[in-house]
Structure 1
Amino acid sequence: MIVERIFISPERGADQVERQHIAVQDGMGILGDRNFGKHTQQGQNITLVEAEEIERFCALFSRSTDFSLTRRNLVTRGVRLNDLVNVEFSIGNVRLRGVELCEPCALLGNHLSSGSLTPAAVIKHWVHRGGLFADILGSGAIVRGSPIETDA
């Protein structure tokens, strides 16, 4: 169970930028990311998605694999993120708590739609597969390849 890719978006609507590592701050989020410091709801600190789900979507709809396409911050491998809702876990030396599933929205539907794939079909595909919203419980660094560990 590892972090396979790391992305941030410096401002709303900007392209995702891939990083080898990020600095995170307790309760604030990822330094340099558009959502840093937002507190309007739990789970805004960081988002995660499974690499396997991105690969599945791309294969099913004959797209080249693009790990930034869901606009989530961390792309994981080997962990079922749905199982981490209301669970504390670690990525490297950083503690996090899964808050809720990151269900697909109209923005994702529009972003991933194409001539043969409607926004509604995109949303339907990503229901319960869109990843996880999480809160950061301790400041530190997350590095590409960091292990993901649960207490269970």
Structure 2
Amino acid sequence: MPELPYAIDVVIELLLASPVHRYEGRPADGPRDATSREVHDSIQVRAGLGIVGDRYFGHAAHRTASVTLIAAESLDHVTHVLGVPPVDAAAARRNIVLRGAPVDELRGEVFSLDTGSGPVLFRAHRPANPCAWMDVALAPGAHKALLKRGGIRCEPLTSGTLSVGPAVLRTERVLAQPTLL
């Protein structure tokens, strides 16, 4: 494991692993129904495969994008700029909702998350750009509000367990604090 000298105390607010892709077709038709429990207290991450039980687990086309993260502050931004009640974090369909770090700044970085069961190492690849579904799932205007704030798609480099609650994010460089504006 590479040396990751900078530690940030963060909170994992939500973990989502869904066996089905619920946002298919036209947003006006609404999302598909959940076929099983999607929000979890903990998840199992497997190196090179993704999250056990998730729709992208083990799919070759998604190896470098099998785990998605979004900053809780990005969802707060939607609430703030649109003047709407707090949005449902699970509706953003990101696997990990993380508070306390500027997730979108991690692009291209190797980082780890540790919730007490040992660090899980990731490489952040490309943005998880928001889609038109966000206007239906979160609030009208959310798609635009999440531009450049939609999170990142990551490849798990090691296996481990992540749980909801306090965590430590380790990085190779100092990150800025997340902001609403």
| TM-score interval for Structure 1 and Structure 2 normalised by the shorter chain | 0.7 to 0.9
Q: TM-score, normalised by structure 2?
A: 0.73
Residue type of the partner of 1:148?
L
Provide the residue aligned with 1:124 in structure 2: 144
Q: TM-score, normalised by structure 1?
A: 0.86
Count of residues in correspondence between the two structures: 146
Q: How many Å apart are 1:138 and its aligned residue?
A: 0.5
Q: Which runs of 5+ in 1 are unaligned?
A: none
For the aligned residue pairs, the C-alpha RMSD in angstroms reads 1.8
The 1:107/1:38 distance shift into structure 2, 3 A limit, reads farther
Q: How many Å apart are 1:53 and its aligned residue?
A: 1.2
Provide the residue aligned with 1:100 in structure 2: 126
| In the alignment, structure 1 residue 37 sits paired with structure 2 residue 58 | yes
Provide the residue aligned with 1:112 in structure 2: 138
Provide the residue aligned with 1:136 in structure 2: 156
The share of aligned pairs that are identical, in percent, is 29
Distance in 2 of aligned mates of 1:105 and 1:80? 20
Residue type of the partner of 1:101?
P
Distance in 2 of aligned mates of 1:110 and 1:2? 27
Contact 1:97 1:137 in 2 (8 A): yes
Provide the residue aligned with 1:75 in structure 2: 97
Distance in 1 of aligned mates of 2:161 and 2:78? 30
Q: Which runs of 5+ in 2 are unaligned?
A: 1-9, 23-32, 174-181
Q: Which has the larger radius of gyration?
A: 2
When structure 1 is superposed on structure 2, of 7-16 and 80-89 the one drifting more is 7-16
The 1:123/1:60 distance shift into structure 2, 3 A limit, reads same
Contact 1:94 1:140 in 2 (8 A): yes
Contact 2:49 2:63 in 1 (8 A): no
Distance in 1 of aligned mates of 2:133 and 2:87? 19
